[in-house]
Every structure is written in structure tokens, then in C-alpha cells.
């Protein structure tokens, strides 16, 4: 049976947001996509524009908006270091003012609202893997703080709106996600490596490449977001990510192999506050949502490489 109602997706023309809009339309919802196109692009949602149940609105969530919606997914925020450090004040405004405006809308409409938080709230973690009970190890005045602390403040706002105004919230912490529609110049490690390998440029590793990440394919992430929104047992926070851990050097070598690239691997100094290890504990998501990632890294990279090949034709 198809669902009814209108769902707002802020940041809906972005990487994850566009896939979520596509999924929600398939599930039968009317979808209102908000985006200011700072990092999102109309190319990501061009195939949806002809659908009568899809509406695109150019809007910056720093500013209030008054619309009739039943559910809200708040995904709006530049999520890669290149983009969020380009205008750090804007990044903080998006997380803080944007959350206030989206929560205000949810309050007025008695709408359920999901906040897409991030594994960056754990900072450079001193606990491994990272569970939701861990409070994190974050530098509040570093170059990454505009994003890390902005998202942490957004989490505070969500829980305070829930406690003070009984807003129906859901909160997830997204770990590294990859797949088609990633921005080719977003500075994230998967897109960096794939684009460099396909264009014959060196793959740059920072430090000795021994730092680890855990990569979740975008279809799995969208499934987790939808399941979190649909359930009524918990407001969160809930980690969403793939617990399969891989070193950055191993990832680079795998991308070179899978693209048949002759690109060399080069090394540069490790940036300040760059996390050394990142791996989600997804026990809560597994128990609460009956959710685990299904797409292995090899298969997900194949799809991602195919997408970027089409981009660079």
C-alpha cells in the first residue's frame, strides 16, 4: 500500500537527499525538496522534476519557511571538509539557525522531524568503535569545529525542542556514505580517489594512510533513514553506517585496481584534528530498526566508479 502525506527534505538536491527524495516518491509520498544549491545540484533531481508529486523550492533554511508538511528530513548542510570549511560561519548557521527553523515548522505542523547528524560529533574518538553513549572528543575551536560543533548544537536543539515543546523528533548519526551523485570535488576520500584514478592524477593519502574509515553505500543509508523515521520506539540517537573498517591506504589501492589506473599514490602531512579511526557500533540500529548494510564495499565501489566514468565521458 502506498503512503500518503507530504514529506519535506531539506538538502534534497544533495547527494544523500536526492536518493532519499527518489525513495520517498517510490513509497507514495508527495515530496517537497528544499535546497539552496550551495553543494546540491539540479542534476541530482532532474529526473524527478516531471513527477506531479515532486516539488522543488530554492530556499536557504537560515530563513523560516511556512509550508504544509507531515514529515521533515533535515539533511541540509555542507558535509565535506572542502565545502564546510569554505564558509565556516555559513556552516554553523545552517546547522543552528536551520535546525531552529525546521524545528519551528515541525512544532507548528505537529510533524515528525528527523535530524541527519553525523559521526563527526564523536570527533577524533578515544573509544572504538563509537557507540551512541560516547560523548566524543572534539576540538571546539579547530578548523573542523564549524561542522562538528554545529551538528552537536543541532542535536542539543532537537532534544530540547522535544523536551520543552514535545516535538516528535528522530536523530541519526551518519557515518561515511558514498555512491552515485557524490560531488566530484567534495574532498571526500571515495570521490577524491575515484576521480583521481579515472583522470590519471595522483591519489593523495594524508599521514601514512593507516587511519581507518567505514563506508556505507547510499542505498543502505537511505533505507536506514526511512526505517528510523517510520518507527515509534525511539527518538535516537542511532548510528547509521557500515561497521566494515578499512584503512585509507587499502581503499586507495583497491580503487586503483578496480579502475585499472596508472595513477600513483602520494603522501602528505595529516591535517589537524583528522580522526585516526572511525567505525560505528550499529547494535542499536540492528535491534531497533532491523537494519544492517547489505551492499559490500566492492559492489558499492563498482557502482560509484561507473557513475563517475559517465560524468567524465
Residue 270: phi and psi, rounded to 5, are: -70, 130
Q: Cell triple for residue 235?
A: 527518538
Q: At what angle do helices 297-311 and 189-199 cross, to 10 degrees?
A: 50
- Ramachandran bin of 136, using left for φ above 0, alpha for ψ from -120 to 50, beta for the remaining angles: left
The Cα–Cα gap between 85 and 120 comes to 14
d(CA 182, CA 190): 9
Q: Rounded to the nearest 5°, which phi and psi values hold at 116?
A: -85, 90
**CB contact set of 58 (below 8 Å; sequence gap of 6+):** 35, 36, 37
* Catalytic member of 29, 84, 122, 147: 147
Residue 147 bears catalytic tag: yes
Separation between Cα atoms, residue 105 and residue 125, nearest integer Å: 34
Q: How many CA atoms lie within 13 A of 178 on its CB side?
A: 30
List residues with catalytic annotation.
Answer: 147
Amino acid at each position: 500500500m502506498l503512503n500518503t502525506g507530504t514529506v519535506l527534505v531539506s538538502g534534497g538536491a544533495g547527494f544523500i537527499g536526492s536518493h532519499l527524495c527518489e525513495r520517498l516518491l517510490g513509497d507514495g509520498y508527495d515530496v517537497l525538496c528544499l535546497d539552496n544549491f550551495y553543494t546540491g545540484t539540479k542534476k541530482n533531481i532532474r529526473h524527478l522534476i516531471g513527477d506531479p508529486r515532486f516539488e522543488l523550492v530554492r530556499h536557504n533554511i537560515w530563513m523560516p519557511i511556512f509550508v504544509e508538511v507531515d514529515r521533515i528530513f533535515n539533511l541540509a548542510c555542507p558535509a565535506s571538509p572542502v565545502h564546510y570549511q569554505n564558509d565556516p560561519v555559513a556552516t554553523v548557521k545552517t546547522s543552528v539557525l536551520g535546525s531552529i527553523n525546521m524545528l519551528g515548522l515541525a512544532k507548528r505542523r505537529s510533524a515528525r522531524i528527523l535530524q541527519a547528524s553525523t559521526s563527526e560529533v564523536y570527533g577524533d574518538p578515544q573509544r572504538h568503535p563509537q557507540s551512541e553513549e560516547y560523548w566524543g572528543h572534539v576540538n571546539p575551536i579547530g578548523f573542523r569545529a564549524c561542522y562538528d560543533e554545529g551538528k552537536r548544537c543541532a542535536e542539543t536543539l532537537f532534544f530540547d525542542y522535544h523536551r520543552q515543546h514535545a516535538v516528535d523528533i528522530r536523530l541519526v548519526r551518519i557515518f561515511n556514505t558514498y555512491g552515485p551523485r557524490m560531488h566530484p570535488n567534495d574532498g571526500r576520500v571515495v570521490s577524491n580517489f575515484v576521480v583521481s584514478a579515472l583522470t590519471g592524477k595522483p591519489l593523495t593519502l594524508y599521514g601514512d594512510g593507516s587511519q581507518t574509515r567505514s563506508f556505507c553505500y547510499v542505498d543502505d543509508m537511505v533505507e536506514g533513514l526511512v526505517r528510523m523515521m517510520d518507527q515509534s520506539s525511539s527518538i535516537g540517537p542511532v548510528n547509521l553506517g557500515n561497521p566494515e573498517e578499512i584503512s585509507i591506504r587499502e581503499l586507495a589501492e583497491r580503487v586503483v585496481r578496480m579502475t585499472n589506473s596508472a595513477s600513483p599514490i602520494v603522501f602528505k602531512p595529516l591535517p589537524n584534528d583528522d580522526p585516526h579511526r572511525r567505525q560505528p557500533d550499529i547494535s542499536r540500529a540492528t535491534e531497533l530498526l532491523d537494519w544492517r548494510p547489505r551492499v559490500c564495499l566492492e559492489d558499492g565501489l563498482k557502482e560509484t566508479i561507473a557513475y563517475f566514468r559517465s560524468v567524465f565521458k
